[in-house]
Chain A
Amino acid sequence: MSDVLSYDFMRIALAMAVLIGLTAPAIGTFIVQRKLSLLGDGIGHIALTGIGLGLLTGTSPILGALVVTVLGALAIELLRARSRSGGDVALALLFYGGLAGGALLTQAQSGGSSLQSYLFGSISSVTMGDLYVVAGLAVAVLAIVVVFGRDLFLLCQDEELARAAGLRVRFLSVLIAVTAAVTVVIAMRAVGLLLVGALMIIPVAAAQQLARGFRATMLTAMVIGVLSAVSGLLSSFQYDLQPGPSIVLLALAVFLAAVVAGAALRRRRAVVTRPGPGRAADGDPGAAVETAPGTTGGAAARARVEPEAEVLGG
């Protein structure tokens, strides 16, 4: 397997896989929390129109996709914010329009073969120039996650809480959608537009089986993302398979393993955190304060209330 690195295109492809594995789950964590799991998928459909336009006008398909996906993301965010129930249908219309438009435009240009490579990815055709663009975009995405992470966390927890903290909710919502669009463009060459959403969601779904916190979920998802992207790429090279589907199936395998491991982990934690009624007081002065035994309820009922009630106070 060490001879893999002797191929130029494989070195580029591996660097690309690492970038995708890092960025897609990072933004994906926010997207899952915001219940927009299919956003990446939808933006992927829209990107196809951009690629078609890029090919048709002879400019770079990546730049075409970047422009159109960012516009599409803005449109999605607008629809989402404006309509309470119709947004779902409006999004679907946008997605299908993007896919159909892209299919026609790419066919007008060059027949079906290049369409196939964008739908399912062809990482081996990536050039050094593409890699520079992708690396730049990846740095931008990660910088946004680092700088706006706190704000985005609050926004994705609850929009109303975010507003009550003085955050500019509309700006941040657009920021998430646009960042997701950029991530789609980063990942599309490798895993293909139809599978691009998978790397944003599956590693996160796996990580949330294992982690207890938001940050831990994100970091775990990024590790899973890099592992499945790199190993998927290597195995596709080894066994002459398409990289996109290999990467996604490996990520799914990790997810299944995480479900099993997570169930075991939770069972063990439940045993550890519930050592019985005499658990150590949380080292706070309120522990001594008891609930006034004024009301009814047997000793058993009170024992159930007390561990909760005792700790508040003073």
Chain B
Amino acid sequence: MTPSPFAMTGGRVRLDGREVLAGVDLSVGAGDVLALTGPNGSGKSTLVRALLGLLPLSGGRTEIYGRIPSRFRDWGRIGYVPQRLPMGGGVPATVREVVASGRTARQSRWRPASAADRAAVDHAIEAVGLTGRARDSAHLLSGGQQQRVLIARALAGEPDAIVMDEPNAGVDAGNQEALARTLGTLTGEGRTVLLVLHELGPLEPLITRTVRLEGGRIAAETRLRTAPRAAEQTAGSPA
């Protein structure tokens, strides 16, 4: 059997001397749509970032597709959607440029973008309905639209597993339902989705498992339904 997208055993993370994750065992199976819930400061974002190898563990072990993050090479299989569009020093970037940056892991540094690269970027922008805005500056869009740019960015890499940190924070109801539709398409294709959520909201029908964190520990875990295509996903090939 192929290794699961994310697997953590006894994961501990210390930030500024405080233990934010205090021994977490969590395995995200292929095809899972897992919602990570819990109060503010319970360690949701920390857990997600530790699973991605963005934060070092102070104890325990975590693996991405069977490899520890520093040994993992196949980053094209992972799509990460952060909470906010990073603006940095304010050099503008078009929607298309931001979305295209999601393909970096799949591209060779020595070759210009191929037709397949461009098609994937076009497709991702279309999937979130921003085709007409592709040449506009991303930071001038509304909050909900920026969120969609970030989702398209992750989609452009054609990942097998998508990780989203609070995709519904500060997004109006219409956009939340639109996100639910996009996610529905993704999970229908058998992709693995890991979401940090405050409340399930319109995403509830898609979610297969919820894990509730409290004080850096898993407090409750519920399986709502079986993963839609867990069986077919074991081949692990990108769409």
CB of B16 to closest CB in A, whole Å: 10
A 138-158 binary contact with B (CB < 8 Å = 1; else 0): 000000000110110110111
- Whether the Cβ atoms of A280 and B89 lie closer than 8 Å is no
Does A240 sit at the interface, judged by CB under 8 A?
no
Q: Which of A15-23, A27-35, A228-236 contacts B (4 or more CB under 8 A)?
A: A27-35
- Whether the Cβ atoms of A282 and B181 lie closer than 8 Å is no
- Whether the Cβ atoms of B130 and A212 lie closer than 8 Å is no
Q: Which residues of B contact A314 (CB under 8 A)?
A: 181, 185
CB of B116 to closest CB in A, whole Å: 15
CB-nearest residue of chain B relative to A218? B91
CB of A236 to closest CB in B, whole Å: 30
- Whether the Cβ atoms of A313 and B178 lie closer than 8 Å is yes
Q: Which of A57-65, A118-126, A188-196, A302-310 contacts B (4 or more CB under 8 A)?
A: A302-310
Which of A36, A157, A217, A286 has its CB near the most chain B CB atoms (within 10 A)? A157
Which of A164, A215, A292 has its CB near the most chain B CB atoms (within 10 A)? A164
Bound together, the chains give a CA A33 to CA B98 distance in angstroms of 13
Q: Which residues of B contact A164 (CB under 8 A)?
A: 52, 54, 75, 78, 80
CB-nearest residue of chain A relative to B90? A208
- Whether the Cβ atoms of A284 and B129 lie closer than 8 Å is yes
CB-nearest residue of chain B relative to A266? B140
Q: Which residues of B contact A216 (CB under 8 A)?
A: 94
Bound together, the chains give a CA A282 to CA B97 distance in angstroms of 18
Bound together, the chains give a CA A282 to CA B182 distance in angstroms of 16
Does A37 sit at the interface, judged by CB under 8 A?
yes
- Whether the Cβ atoms of B109 and A32 lie closer than 8 Å is no
Question: How many residues on the A side are at the interface (Cβ–Cβ under 8 A)?
Answer: 54
- Whether the Cβ atoms of B86 and A161 lie closer than 8 Å is yes
Does B88 sit at the interface, judged by CB under 8 A?
yes
Q: Which residues of A contact B136 (CB under 8 A)?
A: 212, 273
Q: Which residues of B contact A292 (CB under 8 A)?
A: 177
Contact check: which of B54, B91, B101 meets A154 at CB < 8 Å?
B101
Residues of A164-179 at the interface with B, using a CB-CB cut-off of 8 Å, are: 164-167
CB-nearest residue of chain A relative to B202? A292
Contact check: which of A32, A147, A153, A161 meets B97 at CB < 8 Å?
A153
Does A311 sit at the interface, judged by CB under 8 A?
yes
Bound together, the chains give a CA A157 to CA B104 distance in angstroms of 13
Bound together, the chains give a CA A308 to CA B110 distance in angstroms of 38
Assess A163 versus B90: contact at CB under 8 Å? Given A282-B130, A309-B174. no
Bound together, the chains give a CA A208 to CA B90 distance in angstroms of 8
Q: Which residues of A contact B105 (CB under 8 A)?
A: 165-167
- Whether the Cβ atoms of B91 and A204 lie closer than 8 Å is yes
CB-nearest residue of chain B relative to A295? B173
Assess A161 versus B82: contact at CB under 8 Å? Given A32-B89, A312-B128. yes
Does A278 sit at the interface, judged by CB under 8 A?
no
CB-nearest residue of chain A relative to B93? A214
Does B49 sit at the interface, judged by CB under 8 A?
yes
CB-nearest residue of chain A relative to B176? A309
Q: Which residues of B contact A309 (CB under 8 A)?
A: 172, 174-175, 177-178
Q: Which residues of A contact B128 (CB under 8 A)?
A: 311-312
- Whether the Cβ atoms of B97 and A308 lie closer than 8 Å is no
Residues of B100-156 at the interface with A, using a CB-CB cut-off of 8 Å, are: 101-102, 104-105, 107, 109-110, 126, 128-133, 135-137, 142, 144-145, 148
Assess A157 versus B88: contact at CB under 8 Å? Given A165-B104, A214-B94. yes
Does B225 sit at the interface, judged by CB under 8 A?
no
CB-nearest residue of chain A relative to B73? A166
B 205-228 binary contact with A (CB < 8 Å = 1; else 0): 000000000000000000000000
A 274-297 binary contact with B (CB < 8 Å = 1; else 0): 000001101110110101100100
CB-nearest residue of chain B relative to A280? B132
- Whether the Cβ atoms of A289 and B78 lie closer than 8 Å is no
- Whether the Cβ atoms of A308 and B175 lie closer than 8 Å is yes
- Whether the Cβ atoms of B82 and A212 lie closer than 8 Å is no
- Whether the Cβ atoms of A157 and B98 lie closer than 8 Å is yes
Q: Which residues of A contact B107 (CB under 8 A)?
A: 150
- Whether the Cβ atoms of B132 and A282 lie closer than 8 Å is yes
Residues of A188-230 at the interface with B, using a CB-CB cut-off of 8 Å, are: 204, 208, 211-217
Bound together, the chains give a CA A153 to CA B129 distance in angstroms of 24
- Whether the Cβ atoms of A150 and B142 lie closer than 8 Å is no
Does A8 sit at the interface, judged by CB under 8 A?
no
CB-nearest residue of chain A relative to B94? A213
CB of B50 to closest CB in A, whole Å: 12
- Whether the Cβ atoms of B75 and A166 lie closer than 8 Å is yes
Assess A158 versus B109: contact at CB under 8 Å? Given A151-B104, A214-B93. no
Q: A162-B104, A284-B131 are in contact. List 15 more A-B contacts (CB 8 A).
A: A153-B97, A157-B88, A161-B101, A163-B54, A164-B75, A165-B101, A165-B157, A167-B104, A213-B137, A287-B129, A291-B173, A295-B173, A309-B178, A312-B175, A312-B179
Listed by A's residue number, 11 A-B pairs whose Cβ atoms lie within 8 Å are: A156-B88, A156-B89, A164-B78, A166-B76, A208-B92, A213-B92, A282-B129, A283-B132, A291-B177, A305-B172, A311-B130
